[in-house]
Amino acid sequence: MPKRRVLLTGAAGRIAPHLWRGLADRFDWRLLDIVPVSGRPDALQTDINDTEAMRRAMEGVDAVVHLAAQSYDADFTTSLVPRNITGVYSVYEAAQRAGVRRVVLASSYHVMEGYGPFAEKPTVCQADDGSNASEFPISSEAPVRPDGLYAVSKACGEVIARYFADYHGVTSVILRLGAVGPKSASTGAWPRTWSAWLAPQDFCQLVENAIEAHNVRFVIVYGISRNTRRLYDLEPGRALLGYEPEEDSELHLSHWYRAGPVPPAPPPPGIPYGHRLPELIVPSGRLALCWIGQAGFFVKSPAASLYIDPFISVWPDTLQAPLLTPAVLRADVVLMTHHHRDHLDRQALPLAAVASPSLRFAGPASCCAILEGLGVAASRLIALRPGERMQIADMEIVAMATRHLSDATDALGYVVRSPSVTIYHTGGTENDPVLLGAGEYHPDLLLVPINGRGGNMTAEQAAQLVGQLGVPAVVPMHYGSLQPQADLVDRFLTSLASAAPRARPAVMAYGAILYLPLRTEI
């Protein structure tokens, strides 16, 4: 059976080669751009605003994939309008004249970024009446809310496509594409990229399905991978096109450093993806670890999940917006290390208990007493002492002794053991020989405070503990939420290079997720 012939505009652009190379065995590509296409002397060189030339280019083709566009930093009237508005009109007019019945139009997720938490203007995240809270995931049927003039021009292109579908029979699949690129492109410092990344293989699948889709007159779908932090609804693409993305930016988000400077970056804004943490897909033999700020972590195995010290309330001195709310704090158990406010969240945990009736809370007796006084049923509280254990499906939890301030004499750390990996969370603690007791469990990863105040060890002492325990990997914690990072991480990494040169440091981005055991090829 002969391959379908498809005209691809913008073929010399950054993302087009993923298609004409990746889908070379599926389609007979006719390439077109206003500039030469490297390595393809057969490509047509045409301005998309030349409607008659575009009609000739479409003779004998079965479909058009229209990628050609003017990107972000351009003048609206002289660049964006000709390329992204009148250029789209020209393509559709040419398709109508040439009898082409399917156009796949590359739009952009930016047409909806006014709803998201990463909009340039924070007020755009509010509803028209001034109230907060856009609903996530964002539907493709919601009114457009562009975050800039580039997005305005792309939204206009969508309207042109709707007109030609309704009145001229040119069926359209609108792809609101995210950030197309290899896995390295998914790990930028800006959380928008984590949410909107589109892996090349998912991009190819989406375009192939859009070309081949039957019984579709006009549809808008989001072109992103199945990112844990996605803000956009993938269901229409799945239902109408059979789009099943395989990649997730979370798998590539680990930030690793050996001794040396860490690029400074302000804490990113809060990301409303916490409600998806329980949905993380954890392969057999792995463990997922998410840093939710300060000493807080989410841990998930294939069979169970838990939080350690979730600090998610907003205080006047907090520097990071919370990643989740009490209403979505879903897990099997919350482990508390001691009763200080950034470890025992008195505002959030009672609300979480109401929202999740099966959620249990375990920790020092002082923490359990406080929660009971706040209305949490005693039957849901588990008081632990050093050496005591509890089993949560395939994870064993061992309470460990620490040495914190004199008002927290029953403070705990935790060893969390799964069949494949062991984590040691020291809790808030000074450097003390009692911590070495965790060595008998041979932890694979150490979570250790480095802020050096309020009863916690310094960055240098934390590095010494890594060497004393002989752990192969370490995540520094307990900084950034109530105290600026300053030089804490630099000091820790510098000391680690001397105290434990074989240990592998993981400086996690706020909200990043590690999949354990660690891969050597990261």
Q: What is the pLDDT of residues 360-408, one digit of tens each?
A: 999 999 999 999 999 999 999 999 999 999 999 999 999 999 999 888 8
Shared domain for 313 and 376, answered yes or no, is: yes
**Residue 310 counted as domain residue:** yes
How confident is the model at residue 129, as a pLDDT? 37
Convert the pLDDT of each residue in 58-73 to its tens digit.
999 999 999 999 987 6
Shared domain for 275 and 240, answered yes or no, is: no
How confident is the model at residue 485, as a pLDDT? 62
From residue 188, alpha-carbon distances to 182, 460, 481 in Å are 12, 29, 21
From residue 296, alpha-carbon distances to 134, 169, 231, 426 in Å are 26, 55, 23, 12
Structure token pair of residue 440: 């008998």
Convert the pLDDT of each residue in 450-483 to its tens digit.
998 888 999 999 999 999 999 999 999 998 777 6
pLDDT confidence of 269, banded at 50, 70, 90? very low
- Whether 511 has a pLDDT exceeding 70, the answer reads yes
Shared domain for 214 and 318, answered yes or no, is: no
Mean pLDDT of the chain: 86
Convert the pLDDT of each residue in 302-323 to its tens digit.
999 999 999 988 776 666 667 7
pLDDT confidence of 231, banded at 50, 70, 90? confident
Domain boundary among 201, 217, 251: 251
From residue 208, alpha-carbon distances to 223, 277, 352 in Å are 12, 31, 44
Contact 520, 291 (CB under 8 A): no
- Whether 293 has a pLDDT exceeding 90, the answer reads no
Single-letter amino acid, residue 156: C
Better-predicted residue by pLDDT, 518 or 151 = 151
Residue 290 belongs to a domain with what CATH number? 3.60.15.10
Q: Which of 74-78, 439-443, 469-473 has the lowest mean pLDDT?
A: 74-78
Shared domain for 351 and 461, answered yes or no, is: yes
**Cα 157 to chain centroid, rounded:** 28
Q: Percent of the chain having pLDDT more than 90?
A: 67
Contact 329, 357 (CB under 8 A): no
Residue 94 belongs to a domain with what CATH number? 3.40.50.720
Domain boundary among 251, 282, 312: 251
Q: Is 150 a catalytic residue?
A: yes
Better-predicted residue by pLDDT, 467 or 113 = 467
* Mean pLDDT, range 75-81, rounded to an integer: 94
* Mean pLDDT, range 261-287, rounded to an integer: 56
Q: Which of 205-219, 267-281, 283-297 has the lowest mean pLDDT?
A: 267-281
Convert the pLDDT of each residue in 414-427 to its tens digit.
999 999 999 999 99
**Residue 231 counted as domain residue:** yes
Shared domain for 283 and 422, answered yes or no, is: yes
pLDDT confidence of 344, banded at 50, 70, 90? very high
* Mean pLDDT, range 92-106, rounded to an integer: 97
What's the CA gap between 19 and 101, in Å, rounded? 20
CA atoms within 13 A on the CB side of 172: 29
How confident is the model at residue 136, as a pLDDT? 60
Contact 68, 35 (CB under 8 A): no
Q: Which of 21-35, 276-290, 458-472 has the lowest mean pLDDT?
A: 276-290
Shared domain for 34 and 149, answered yes or no, is: yes
- Whether 23 has a pLDDT exceeding 50, the answer reads yes
Shared domain for 244 and 279, answered yes or no, is: no
Shared domain for 374 and 504, answered yes or no, is: yes
Shared domain for 210 and 278, answered yes or no, is: no
**Around Cβ 355, how many Cβ atoms within 10 Å?**
14
Helices (H), ranges, 23-74: 51-57
How confident is the model at residue 252, as a pLDDT? 66
Convert the pLDDT of each residue in 126-173 to its tens digit.
333 333 334 567 889 999 999 889 999 999 999 999 999 999 999 999
Shared domain for 274 and 238, answered yes or no, is: no
**Residue 263 counted as domain residue:** no
Contact 307, 329 (CB under 8 A): yes
**Residue 262 counted as domain residue:** no
* Mean pLDDT, range 215-226, rounded to an integer: 95
SS3 111: helix
How confident is the model at residue 90, as a pLDDT? 98
Domain boundary among 194, 219, 251: 251
Boundaries of domain holding 61: 4-251
Going by C-alpha positions, the residue among 136, 460, 449 that lies closest to residue 291 is 449
Shared domain for 181 and 313, answered yes or no, is: no
Domain count, the chain: 2
Answer whether the bond into residue 517 is a cis peptide, omega within 30°.
yes
What's the CA gap between 109 and 178, in Å, rounded? 6
**Residue 399 counted as domain residue:** yes
Largest CA distance in the chain: 82
Structure token pair of residue 461: 């002492």
**Residue 265 counted as domain residue:** no
- Whether 191 has a pLDDT exceeding 80, the answer reads no
**Residue 403 counted as domain residue:** yes
Q: Which residue has the tokens 């579709």?
A: 216
CA atoms within 13 A on the CB side of 439: 11
Answer whether the bond into residue 137 is a cis peptide, omega within 30°.
yes
How confident is the model at residue 224, as a pLDDT? 95
- Whether 193 has a pLDDT exceeding 80, the answer reads no
- Whether 5 has a pLDDT exceeding 90, the answer reads yes
How confident is the model at residue 405, as a pLDDT? 82
**Around Cβ 479, how many Cβ atoms within 10 Å?**
23
How confident is the model at residue 506, as a pLDDT? 87
Contact 402, 429 (CB under 8 A): yes
Q: Which residue has the tokens 């934390």?
A: 462
Q: Which of 254-268, 434-448, 500-514 has the lowest mean pLDDT?
A: 254-268
Shared domain for 178 and 313, answered yes or no, is: no
Structure token pair of residue 82: 């000709």
Residue 140 backbone dihedrals phi, psi, to 5 degrees: -70, -10
Which residue in the list 92, 109, 150, 222 is annotated as catalytic?
Answer: 150
pLDDT confidence of 275, banded at 50, 70, 90? low
b/e per residue 181-203 (b: at least 16 CB within 10 A):
beeebbbeeebbbbbbbbbbebb
**Residue 134 counted as domain residue:** yes
What's the CA gap between 247 and 249, in Å, rounded? 7
